[in-house]
Amino acid sequence: MGLLLDTHYVFALAGAPGRLSQREIHVLRDPPAALVVSAVSIWEIRLKWDALHGSGARKGPRGPADILEVLARQNITFLDLSYTHAATPLLVALPHRDPFDAILLVQAQTEGHLLLTRDAKLLPHPLAISAEAAR
C-alpha cells in the first residue's frame, strides 16, 4: 500500500509547499509508505499552469515540466492513468463532482493505495487519509 498524493502535496514536494503543518512535513520527509504521484495530478498542475488570473499571473505556482524534473530526483513512484482506471466506478461516491478527486480516488481504490489529502471534502471518504492519521 502506498500514499497517493493529492495535488497539493505534489506541489509541496516540488518546492512550492504553501503552508504545511509539522505533521505534513514529517509525513512527506519520512513517509510510512511509498509516496505515489499520479499522472492525473501532473495534468491538473498543467491545467492550472496554463490558466491565468485576471491579473495575468498563472494560477499554478510551478509548471508541470519543472515539477517532474524535481520529482524525478526523489523517491517517488509514478502512476499512469490507465484504461482500467478510466472505466472503473468509484465504489463509495463523492459528495461533490470534482473529476480530479474522483479519478485519484479510483486510482487509490484500484491500486490499493490511500489518498493523502488535506481536503475537508475528501477526508470523510474511506480511501482518503490525512497526514495526522498517517502513521
Q: Taking a C-beta distance cutoff of 8 angstroms, is the pair 34, 2 a contact?
A: yes
Q: Is residue 44 over pLDDT 90?
A: yes
Set of cell numbers at residue 133: 492519521
Where do the domains of the chain lie, and which CATH numbers do they carry? 2-129 (3.40.50.1010)
Alpha helix (H) residue ranges in 1-135? 7-13, 22-29, 39-50, 64-71, 83-87, 99-111
Q: Which amino acid is at 24?
A: E
The arithmetic mean of pLDDT across residues 52-69, rounded, is 90
Closest CA to 86 of 109, 106, 108, 115: 106
pTM of the shown model: 0.93
